[in-house]
Amino acid sequence: MSKSVNFITRNFGKYDVSSIGSYMNIGGFDALKKAVTMTGEDIAATIAEAKIKGRGGAAYDMGRKWAQAKAVVAEKKVIICNADEGEPCTFKDRALIEKDPFNLIEGMIIAGYTVDAQDGYIYMREEYSHLRPLLLNAIRQAKTYGFLGTNILGKGFNFNIHLYSGAGAYVCGEGTALIRSLEGKAGRPRMKPPFIKQSGLFARPTCVNNVESLAIVAPLLLDDKKEYLSYGSGESIGTKLVSVGGNVNTPGVFEIPFGTTVREIVYDMAGGIKGDHTIRLIQFGGASGKIASSRILDTPYTYDDLKKAGVTVGSGAILVVDDRTSVLNFLRTTQAFFSHESCGQCTPCREGNRHIKLILEKLAANTHRNEDITALKKIVKLMAMSSLCGLGESAENALLSAMQQFPDVFEVK
């Protein structure tokens, strides 16, 4: 019987989330106090030592990202907390904001200190608007206590956090689109170069991090006993928040040590499959993630093992679909999502999504022919190879993996 652990989630239920005093009583802001005695390079090195990869889905080495951000020479720099969490079946960031808002604020301040930014922006999806008072309160109290503002902790470090809202666009989870939204425009992604780390928000060097990535910072800095490093192995050390949903008995957010098997997550933590149904497929990483059959149950949840099994960690979502839903209907629902969320700017994604939706409808009506399947494969490849941003690139991941795992679905009957 595998247990979840409490490293990132150590504060859940342990303090009054509306009170900074309550937070400080359990050691809140001790990490910040330690951080300001270190150099930015050292903090980045600590992150790198823990091999933390970006928890939003891109899985970029966070320590390296912070070191690069620190190295950029500029008068005004920006850090952004990406709280847009738009991947279906992903709600771990929501849990972190609901249950440990001050930890996120503390992590952001440490991030700002590390990379020499003066402004931090939290971009939180509109669908979490009920959490705005919580965060605004945390920011306000942090400022009152001198953890935000000018000359923080007497170190000559100035930093402010601004809370911005999204407005119902999954694509705004993409870095350049998020920045465009912050700049007061429609959130359509920009081309790269220029890269965000050189020219991001208002052309300033910008470092974007996911909520969970920032939530690890404070506990990690205070982890003298190296508890975090004791979990997992190889390239996947430490712990991860996963959000399990679908046809399971107890969906929710679980903090697992890397290496826990998928079976343990689905059956021990999420209570197994509802009723007496069997697993049709499991999707990892949200709607833009690849799918696997139940053969993946005994795979350890690590970056490398999942990759070998043909899926990725992605947003940390684990969606379990049982036999009541056909693969085709699953794909059509997923396609409907991307058809709705594509920004529309670039030809491959805008037109590609449109045509794939039509072909899937033909499949559902069993009116498809060989040319349609050929066209499907061509368009899927085109989108993956030439779209402007990650949305177009990954929109057909589920479809692509379905074509490999469940080829009979696409046969012309």
Partner 1 sequence: MEMVNIKINNIPLEVEKGTKILEAAKKIHIDIPHLCYHPDQKVKAHCRICCVEVAGNRRLLAACSTEVWEGMEIHTDTQIVRDTQVGILQLILANHEQNCLTCARNQNCDLQRLCSRFNILKSNLPDVCDHLPVQDTNPSIVRDPSKCIKCGRCVRACKDVQGVCALTYAGRSDSISVTTAYNKPLEETDCILCGQCSIVCPTGAIVEKDDTQKVLDVLQDPKKHVIVQVAPSVRVALGDDFKLGQGTIVTGQMVAALKMLGFDRVFDTNFGADMTIMEEGAELLDRIQHGGKLPMITSCSPGWVNYMEKHYGDFTAHLSSAKSPQQIFGAISKTYYPKQAGIDPKNIVTVSIMPCTAKKAEAARPEMGRDGMQDVDIVLTTRELTKLIKYVGLNFENLEPAEFDSPLGSGSGAAVIFGTTGGVMEAALRTVYEKVTGKELKSVDFKDVRGFQGIKEATVKLGSQEIKVAIAHTLVNAKKVMEAIKAGTCDYTFIEIMACPGGCIGGGGQPIDTTMDIKKLRMDSLYDIDKNNTIRKSHENPDIQTVYKDFLGEPLSEKAHELLHTHYHKVKKQHDFSYLKPEEIYSI
Partner 2 sequence: MLTAQKQDHILSKELSAKIDLVLASHEYDNTQIVGILLDVQDLIDEHYIPEAIAYYLSEKLDLKITVIYDCISFYSSLSEKPRAKYPIQICNSIVCSINDNDSVFTIFKELLGIELNEVTYDGRFTLESVPCFGACDVAPAVRINGTVYGHLDSRGKIENLLNKLL
Supply the minimum distance, in Å, between the C-beta of residue 391 and partner 1. Answer: 10
> Measured between alpha carbons, how far is residue 328 from residues 324, 383, 408 in Å?
12, 20, 11
Smallest Cα–Cα separation from 319: which of 243, 395, 216?
243
Alpha-carbon radius of gyration of the chain? 22
The interface partner of residue 388, options being partner 1, partner 2, none and the CB cut-off 5 to 8 Å by kind, is partner 1
203 binds partner 1 (CB under 8 A): no
CA distance 256 to 184: 38
Site for partner 2 in 243-262 (CB under 8 A): 243, 245-247, 251-253
Q: How far apart are CA 378 and CA 163, in angstroms?
A: 42
Does residue 90 touch partner 2 according to CB under 8 A?
yes
Determine if 245 is a binding residue for partner 1 (CB under 8 A).
no
Minimum CB–partner distance for residue 165 and partner 2 (Å): 5
Q: Give me the amino acid identity at 191.
A: M
For residue 182, state whether it binds partner 1 (rule: CB under 8 A): no
Contact call for residue 126 and partner 2 (CB under 8 A): yes
Give Cα separations from 376 to 352, 380, 408 (angstroms).
Answer: 9, 6, 15
Question: CB under 5 to 8 A by kind: which of partner 1, partner 2, none does 165 bind?
Answer: partner 2
Distance CA 128, CA 227 (A): 32
Name the residue with tokens 């109290």: 141
Q: How many CB atoms lie within 10 A of CB 36?
A: 17
Only segment of 220-228, 230-238, 308-316, 373-381 that touches partner 1 (CB under 8 A):
373-381
Alpha-helical segments (H) within 231-369: 262-263, 303-308, 327-341, 347-364
**Per rule CB under 8 A, is residue 351 in the interface with partner 1?**
yes
Binds 90: which of partner 2, partner 1, none (CB < 5-8 Å by kind): partner 2
Main-chain dihedrals φ then ψ at residue 41, nearest 5 degrees: -60, -40
- Interatomic CA distance for residues 201 and 197, integer angstroms: 10
Q: From the list partner 1, partner 2, none, pick the one residue 137 interacts with, judged by a Cβ distance below 5 to 8 Å according to partner type.
A: none
Least separation in angstroms between CB 376 and partner 1: 11
**Minimum distance, C-beta of residue 325 to partner 2, in the bound complex (Å):** 5
Asked if 186 touches partner 1 (CB under 8 A), the answer is yes
Q: Is 287 in the site for partner 1 (CB under 8 A)?
A: no
* 352 scored as a contact of partner 1 (CB under 8 A): yes
Reported for 152-160, long-range contacts at CB under 8 A and 24+ positions apart, including other chains, are: 152/36, 152/109, 152/113, 153/32, 153/33, 153/36, 155/36, 155/113, 157/36, 157/112, 157/113, 158/118, 159/109, 159/112, 159/113, 159/117, 159/118, 159/119, 159/120, 160/118, 160/119, 160/120
Interface mask toward partner 2 for 283-302; x: CB under 8 A: x---x---------------
CB of 376 to partner 2, least distance (A): 20
Residues of this chain that interact with partner 1 (CB under 8 A) are: 169, 171, 186, 188, 191-193, 339-348, 350-355, 358, 371-372, 375, 378-379, 381-382, 384-388, 393
Q: Which residues bind partner 2 (CB under 8 A)?
A: 85-91, 94, 125-130, 164-170, 181-188, 202, 243, 245-247, 251-253, 283, 287, 319, 321-322, 324-325, 329-330, 333-334, 336-337, 340-341, 343
